[in-house]
Amino acid sequence: MALLELTLEGPDIDPTEVVFSLGKGWIIKDGGARVENEKGKLRFVSSSIYGKLIYRVTEELKVDMDSRGSPMEAEVWVGLSFHWEREELSYKGLETEKKIVHLFPTQYLSDYAGAKATTSAPPINLEIKKRLTEIAKASKTHMAFFQSVTKEFPSIGNDQVMLTTVLDSSASGFFGELHPELFVK
């Protein structure tokens, strides 16, 4: 069973990993960049935890996720900001109904500095670019790179150029160009 792992970060908290089950039949592809269903399904089961997350974000919190991309793509979550609280959730399996306590978003706080990853970032300061290169080379995943950069540069949200550069998780992005082996099909 595939799992979505989100890293929650904030100025007053240490990074926290939250895991959401995608349901049966989902396969992780492209080093975690996307998932697809082994039977070709195009939607997540609404009673799965991930299905409930999508419903909460799109229907209850009214976040326009369609403009960000497909829920099958990991990058749709990059840069979004929410207030999270533990909630008791119930979901139905094939034969049983279960209740669990899980972190769930309760309020949309807007995009992180209003940014979304793009494939063409403007040039950045050469000293900062050198340090970003060092961090990217030492990081095994884009998420690890992003976490290291935000820890070292806590005011990254105030620098649109740097934030755009760091958020791009595509093969043609800053991190991707330094790690082409992660994007080989």
Dist CA 33 CA 43 (whole Å):
17
Q: What predicted TM-score, i.e. pTM, was given to this entire model?
A: 0.56
Dist CA 69 CA 77 (whole Å):
9
For residue 170, the model assigns a pLDDT of 76
Quick check: 159 pLDDT over 90? no
DSSP string, 150-178: HHH-TTGGG-HHHHHHHH--STTSHHHHH
Quick check: 82 pLDDT over 50? yes
For residue 117, the model assigns a pLDDT of 40
Each residue's pLDDT tens digit, 7-21: 887 766 777 888 888
Cα angle vertex 95, ends 104, 3, to 5°? 40
Q: 166: pLDDT confidence band, cut at 50, 70 and 90?
A: confident
Structure tokens at 28: 């992780």
Dist CA 1 CA 131 (whole Å):
37
